Amino acid sequence: MTDRDLPGAETIEAVLASHEGAWGAGTRVLSVRDLSPGLGQAAVLGVSTTAPDDCPSQWIVKIPGWGHQSLLDSRDGQLDRREAHFFGSGIPALLPRGLATPPDATVVSHDGLAWIVMRDIGAALHQPWNPTTATTTALRTALLYVPGALHPDLLDTPWLEHEGYAAYTHHIPAGHDNLDALAHEPQLKALFTREQVHALHTCLDAAAELNSRAATLPTTLVHGDLTPRNAGLDRDNALVLIDWEHVGVGPVGFDLGTFVSLYRAFGGHGELNEPALLEVYSQALSDLADTEMRHSAALGFATVHLTWGLHLRLGPGLTAVRQGFQGETPGELAPHLDDIRSGCLRALSWASAAGVGAAGH
């Protein structure tokens, strides 16, 4: 379902009236704003409402499957349904103190689609990210281990995503092609040295080995797309997470790897000390599991950098640049090229930890 007109206030008001929820009976919709992300495949709307008692409130209405395909080209057949499954399940209630989801999240069926209605938590999401808040995030991310440890059957839930670190392996051929093309494009030929290009090819070729090794690591419930855009800290310093389309089961270290990989690209300020953050996460995880988890967490963390992080940047990331989707001028291209370069070089710095013989970093 692509490129539909977004629902207006009248439609949303009718949807809310069709289902009991925390918004209350007789709620009127005052305004609707389109908040849909550019790469998302869902409509995301900011909705202002008022109840019969004149009490105003702010909501997010999310309609999975309403949006459009993107260069990310997800091959995930459950993507449009998984977040609704998540909020309709008992998993959110199993998250321990220190982790949170948007309050009053409710799944409403309308016109053949699942609409997710939840409180707007923009105040928590719009806080600035810095190394201190990133450290708190590392601590809180370890808590995702708790639901699966207390309820092992939860990790067998069929609609959870599995092997999310391998979700973009189909972009590897494009990554190789893009790397080979750099030398022939004036604006891109200085992006990496010859040695770095060779090392990146080596890491792309190591995907099957990395994925096989990751499958042997201890598993945890994962958010699956834990980036600064999808996370915030509330007044109690709990980590509040949105966008659960990729919730699943993955190796320990997975979520911290995604957060760190896209920290600067998605608004983080200051340089992160990745080994220090990994140590904070690993210690918290080891305490929760009551066993030493440092080596496993480091391997999972490094694997995500070298799979999820590289495949996105060298595949759709470089393709978007080469096809002009990110602009044409040096000023327009600069932030995108900086993220591709810095993200890939940070990934290479973890190659030896993941057992990949990549040089050039």
Q: How far apart are CA 26 and CA 14, in angstroms?
A: 10
The answer to whether 347 and 299 have CB atoms below 8 angstroms apart is: no
- Quote the tokens at residue 349: 């710095």
Per-residue pLDDT, averaged over 270-282, amounts to 97
**Residue 358, pLDDT score:** 58
**Residue 79, pLDDT score:** 84
* Domain end residue (candidates: 96, 120, 144): 120
Average pLDDT, the chain: 93
Q: Is residue 69 part of a domain?
A: yes
**Residue 361, pLDDT score:** 43
Is residue 191 located within the same domain as residue 324?
A: yes
Is residue 231 located within the same domain as residue 95?
A: no
User: Using one digit for the tens of pLDDT, what is the confidence trace for 288-308?
Assistant: 999 999 999 999 999 999 999
Residue 121 φ/ψ, nearest 5 degrees: -115, 35
Residue 242 φ/ψ, nearest 5 degrees: -115, 175
Q: How confident is the model at residue 2 (pLDDT cuts 50, 70, 90)?
A: very low
Is residue 113 located within the same domain as residue 132?
A: no
Cβ neighbours of residue 232 closer than 8 Å, sequence gap 6 or more: 121, 124, 125, 126, 127, 239, 240
The answer to whether 155 and 249 have CB atoms below 8 angstroms apart is: yes
Q: How far apart are CA 195 and CA 211, in angstroms?
A: 24
Q: In 3D, which of 302, 306, 261, 255 has the Cα closest to residue 281?
A: 255
Is residue 112 located within the same domain as residue 155?
A: no
For 222-258, give the DSSP string. E-S---GGGEEE-TT--EEE---TT-EEEETTHHHHH
What does each C-alpha distance from 257 to 150, 245, 302 come to in angstroms? 24, 18, 7
Is residue 195 located within the same domain as residue 323?
A: yes
The answer to whether 156 and 204 have CB atoms below 8 angstroms apart is: no
Is residue 115 located within the same domain as residue 154?
A: no
The answer to whether 97 and 262 have CB atoms below 8 angstroms apart is: no
Q: In 3D, which of 51, 112, 116, 39 has the Cα closest to residue 84?
A: 116
Is residue 28 located within the same domain as residue 56?
A: yes
Is residue 137 located within the same domain as residue 110?
A: no
Per-residue pLDDT, averaged over 326-340, amounts to 93
Is residue 42 located within the same domain as residue 109?
A: yes
Helix axes 274-289, 294-304, angle to 10 degrees: 130
**Residue 4, pLDDT score:** 64
**Residue 48, pLDDT score:** 97
Q: How confident is the model at residue 111 (pLDDT cuts 50, 70, 90)?
A: confident
Q: Is residue 62 part of a domain?
A: yes
Q: Is residue 354 part of a domain?
A: no
Question: Can you give the pTM of this predicted structure?
Answer: 0.94
* Domain end residue (candidates: 98, 120, 142): 120
Q: Is residue 353 part of a domain?
A: no
User: Using one digit for the tens of pLDDT, what is the confidence trace for 36-73?
Assistant: 875 567 899 999 999 888 889 999 999 988 866 666 77
Q: Is residue 359 part of a domain?
A: no
Q: Is residue 75 part of a domain?
A: yes
The helix, strand and coil proportions of the chain, stated in percent and rounded to the nearest 5, come to 45, 15, 40
List the CATH number of the domain containing 84.
3.30.200
Could you give the number of structural domains in the chain? Answer: 2
Q: Is residue 361 part of a domain?
A: no
Is residue 168 located within the same domain as residue 70?
A: no
Is residue 146 located within the same domain as residue 225?
A: yes
Cβ neighbours of residue 339 closer than 8 Å, sequence gap 6 or more: 264, 265, 313, 317
Is residue 156 located within the same domain as residue 54?
A: no
Q: Is residue 358 part of a domain?
A: no
* Domain end residue (candidates: 68, 88, 120): 120
Per-residue pLDDT, averaged over 190-218, amounts to 96
The answer to whether 139 and 259 have CB atoms below 8 angstroms apart is: no
DSSP state of 329: S
Q: Which domain holds residue 112?
A: 9-120
